[in-house]
Amino acid sequence: MTPELALKQIWTLAGCDPTALRSVSLTGEDPGLPSVYRVGSLASATIAATGLAAAEYHRLRTGHRQHVAVEMRRALASFRSERYLRIDDGPPPALRDPVTGFYETRDGRWIQLHTNFAHHLEGVLKVLGCDKGRAAVSAAIRGHWDGAALDQTLADAGLCAALIRSPDEWAALDQAKAIAGLPLFEIERIGDAPAEPPGRTVANRPLDGIRVLDLSRIIAGPVAGRALAQHGADVLMINGPHLPNIAPLVIDNGRGKRSAVLDLREADGRDTLRKLALDTDVFLQAYRPGALAARGFGPEELARLRPGIVYVSVSAYGHDGPWSQRRGFDSLVQSASGIAFTERQAAGCDEPKHLPCQALDHATGYLAAFGAMAALSRRATEGGSWHVRVSLAQTGRWLQSFGLVPDGWQRPDVLIDDVRDCLGTVDSAFGRVLGVLPAEQMEETPARFALPPARIGAHAASWE
């Protein structure tokens, strides 16, 4: 699969104008990172789709097209943005708890634990009945647990883990069959509303005047909000006061956004969110399927509250199938679906091996942003309220369909000094932030971050 073919698949699935594809150029080829998967094609295609969708929305304002270019090495730098982040010229930020990782089970299988949140770590230690630390966890798993039993036990407890499966083992599961029955993403009309064309005056940026509520954390959802912000949207990030975060990701994915706190467990918080939603164009959320609907903020409810809204749902394992409620992260989906198995097999490693970046997170985030802009374009021309759905598992299945790059794992790694030209600095409340710049090169409306990252709750929960 080439980047051009992958982009065409995205564009065609969304029903976008095929003539726009003449206005994009992609350069570079896999392997761009040490992997047998075509991660570079995934990065280039999803970022190009986002840039081209922004250009097409801008065309609705101005009546003419602009050229979009994506270089694979820059796209891959964006897919590793959290890895290249630096604060005040300091060391690379710590992104993972030491207990997170792969463990061999009693029956010779491997399982991955994800313990980056304190309550997840505490839950795992309680199930295992052991002390904190890799040695204690490893001894408990190797001595007492078969892989499939531990995988199910942790899932039933609402904790985060994944048994390492081969692609064939994954394909035999009901969840994989449910994912196979879904398209890469969905853009569904969920209500009637009058058309809302963008202002015909010349706008400096494609999404000027578009308001986005970003109710997401960690990578996939926040990357979507960041991508919308870099094309001019007013993005207001909403965090719960009780919800954990990972500090470097707040900084990396908070660029271009304002940040407020609302407690949706309280009536006042829900009332404030409803008031915000009345003047919102895009409602982006990455809670598990149904979680926000239980608070009164499902897609149909918001379409009734604010006809014409674009509601974007990001999940781990998709909205259908027995795992739809299972907690998941990028690395866990890689482990469950056979990606970590295949990387290990190709490289001849002693233990499972992940992709060299959080590719499912980043690609899903860009697909979510693309879907939002494609839906905004439909709203502009035909009206309606829209629901966009994406998931890490659907993106992972698509990547697996690209085929493998023989010996791609032997490609040298790309260090921060190799991508200095892809980075930029900004002063912020956190200090001097060095981060990856947007990868899409826009002829007339360059993608950029108008705001530095802000501390959680630094702004009022209101539209400016």
**Which CATH number covers residue 273?**
3.40.50.10540
In a domain, 8, yes or no: yes
Task: Assess whether pLDDT exceeds 90 at residue 82.
Answer: yes
Strands (E), 96-209: 101-104, 110-113, 161-163, 186-191
Tens of pLDDT, residue by residue over 318-351, are 999 999 999 999 999 999 999 999 999 999 999 9
Arithmetic mean of pLDDT over the chain: 96
Q: What percent of the chain lies above the pLDDT cut of 90?
A: 97
In a domain, 376, yes or no: yes
| Edge-to-edge strand ranges of the sheet holding 186-191 | 186-191, 385-391, 310-315, 282-285, 211-215, 234-239, 257-261
Cα–Cα nearest to 243, from 150, 358, 119, 424: 119
The first and second tokens of residue 324, run together, are 């739809």
3-state secondary structure of 67: coil
CB 396 within 8 A of CB 320: no
Residue 249: other Cβ atoms inside 10 A = 21
CB 161 within 8 A of CB 113: yes
| Edge-to-edge strand ranges of the sheet holding 431-436 | 86-87, 431-436, 423-428
- Number of domains forming the structure of the chain: 1
In a domain, 325, yes or no: no
Task: Assess whether pLDDT exceeds 60 at residue 4.
Answer: yes
Residue 136: other Cβ atoms inside 10 A = 15
Full-model pTM = 0.97
In a domain, 436, yes or no: yes
In a domain, 56, yes or no: yes
In a domain, 228, yes or no: yes
Confidence band, pLDDT 50/70/90 cuts, at residue 204: confident
Confidence band, pLDDT 50/70/90 cuts, at residue 200: low
Tens of pLDDT, residue by residue over 206-258, are 999 999 999 999 999 999 999 999 999 999 999 999 999 999 999 999 999 99
Per-residue confidence (pLDDT) for residue 203, from 0 to 100:
63
Q: Average pLDDT, stretch 113-120?
A: 95
3-state secondary structure of 266: coil
C-alpha distances (whole Å) from 52 to each of 17, 22, 28, 100, 112 are 11, 10, 18, 37, 37
In a domain, 427, yes or no: yes
In a domain, 148, yes or no: no
CB 145 within 8 A of CB 124: no
Question: Which residue range(s) make up the domain with 258?
Answer: 3-93+178-320+356-442
